[in-house]
Chain A
Amino acid sequence: MENVVELKNVTKNFKGFSVKNINMQVKQGFITGFIGANGAGKSTTIKMMMNLLRPDAGEVKLFGLDYRTHEKEIKERIGFVYDGNVFFEGLNLKDIKRIVGPAYKKWDDTLFYKYVAQFQLPLNKPIKTFSKGMQMKASLAIALSHDAELIIMDEPTAGLDPIFRRELLDLLQEIMLDGRRTIFFSTHITTDLDRIADYIAFLQNGELIFNQSIDDVANNYALVKGELGLLDRDTEKAFVDIHRAPTGFEALTDNVKAVKKTFGESVVIERASLEDIMYYMKGRESYV
């Protein structure tokens, strides 16, 4: 299986914040969801993938190529959608197309107008009059009109209403059908990912906690509920973080097998949602 994006020991330091030693691969032909709390370093990582930021150390490769020598070739093959509007807000979509289109060798006007019609976007109104959802659709129409192999999106669903979010997710699935495309997108709305993601990369405080297939995540992580009396120094080791209440404990484990072996039938094991995982992982920090 080929990796479209490869980060090797990537580190970037800012004042009071850093992204540390990230090793991550994004596999071709799949949707990878990139999750993490606000400020975890998702946007920084995406900016390094887009060469908007250069890592202090480590290597960033896209399609096996290096930005130093193949910047244009790489960007030719990427479609991007950012959180905010990056297009000149006073311009209408037609003029934006006039500026962005010629930048790509493979730009396809017919395809662009097809998406514009599908998304019901006005061509002659300035972008700044667009709603958040329309701006997103406009970015997406542009990102999809030059036959990009990799679509990178930073928080595309933030600020969108649930109906539009669902439409977007359906659309993403649709454009994945030919099997050539790869989508990498960051979000903190984890329910989006339960629906469409094949892989989940989880970033916390600038560190990559895991990058696994959604099945592996479901198999490895679980919520465990039981009576307080079951917990002692040894049995606690099976858990990432434990929440205690007078009625019993609830904990996250990253090793379901071990929990089953230790506790047997005395605890209830439930599937952990991505939100559960993020929540309990956050609790873990306060322990350390």
Chain B
Amino acid sequence: MFNLIRRDVILQKRLLLTFIPFILFFIIMDSHPALIFLVASIFIPFNAYAYDEKTEVNILLNSLPYTRKEIIAARYLGAIIYSLASIGVASAALLAFSKPFALSDIAIGGGLFFLFAALTFPLFYILKQGYIFSAVLISFLVLAAIGPQIVLYMSDHLPAITEFLMNLSTTALYTGGAVIIGVLYAVSWGVTTVVYQRKAF
């Protein structure tokens, strides 16, 4: 199992060289720290899918002594491990450039990453190969474009929700968010496992 997770580093070792410049770009552009944590987390797990899109990779993995459950578990656990590591690196980079950031930035960036991962990982196994990457990219852009508008609309027109959220203590807000995202991530893991087990290669 650990080997399956480690595989991503071996596959991406050249790409990883671009990881630091990639983060530095966002830092120099003075992006919001939460956004920097989000893009840093996305880097490795989603690149991994770019490598795994080909059927042959699944033929290889499934011919090796791994179960399908393990292959999917490696994806979800790997995403956690790599995002934590990436957040660590991004924090170090931010510190090095003496850009201030708060723990809440990490929480928001990380939280958004896990939410995004939970929603898109199953797509990689449901959608046809070749379409997946563009589908995910487009949905990311659309979400980024429409998402804030929806939130603003809701805050304007559904005061009950806003009020409820405003009245929550910060701790409750973050814990609640973490629990919801955690549940979504777990459900997504379960769904992907079922989908993958039914696949033919």
Report A's interface with B, CB cutoff 8 A.
47, 50-54, 71-73, 75-76, 78, 80, 82, 84-88, 91, 95, 98-100, 102-105
Contacts and interface: CB of A to CB of B under 8 A. Distances in A.
Contacts of B66: 72, 75, 103
Nearest to B69: A71
Given A53-B201, A91-B11, A95-B10, A85 B65 contact: no
Nearest to B197: A54
B67 A98 contact: no
A86 B200 CA distance: 15
B125 to A, nearest CB: 15
A82 B59 CA distance: 9
Contact of A98 (B10, B51, B59): B10
Nearest to A48: B200
A152 to B, nearest CB: 9
Given A82-B59, A84-B56, A99-B3, A52 B200 contact: yes
Q: Is the interface of B mostly helix, strand, loop or mixed?
A: helix
Contacts of A75: 63-66
Contact of A86 (B7, B59, B65, B67): B59
Given A99-B11, A102-B3, A102-B6, 6 more contacts: A50-B63, A52-B63, A52-B201, A87-B56, A91-B10, A99-B7
Contacts of A85: 56
Instruction: Specify which of A76, A85, A98 lies most central, judged by the most chain B CB atoms within 10 Å of its CB.
Output: A98
Interface residues of B, number: 18
B96 interface: no
A86 B60 contact: yes
A99 B201 contact: no
B62 A50 contact: yes
A76 B51 CA distance: 25
B197 to A, nearest CB: 9
A125 B10 CA distance: 15
Contact of B10 (A71, A80, A99, A103): A99
28 contacts: A50-B62, A52-B59, A52-B63, A52-B200, A71-B65, A72-B65, A72-B66, A75-B63, A75-B64, A75-B66, A78-B63, A82-B63, A85-B56, A86-B59, A86-B63, A88-B11, A91-B11, A95-B10, A95-B11, A99-B7, A99-B11, A100-B60, A102-B3, A103-B3, A103-B64, A103-B66, A104-B64, A104-B65
A254 to B, nearest CB: 35
B59 A103 contact: no
Contacts of A72: 65-67
Contacts of B201: 47, 52-53
A35 B64 CA distance: 25
Given A98-B10, A103-B3, A88 B57 contact: yes
Contacts of A71: 65, 67
Contacts of A78: 63
A160 B57 CA distance: 23
Contact of B60 (A51, A87, A102, A105): A87
Instruction: Specify which of A71, A73, A99 lies most central, judged by the most chain B CB atoms within 10 Å of its CB.
Output: A99
Nearest to A78: B63
Instruction: Specify which of B3, B7, B56, B60 lies most central, judged by the most chain A CB atoms within 10 Å of its CB.
Output: B60
Nearest to B57: A88
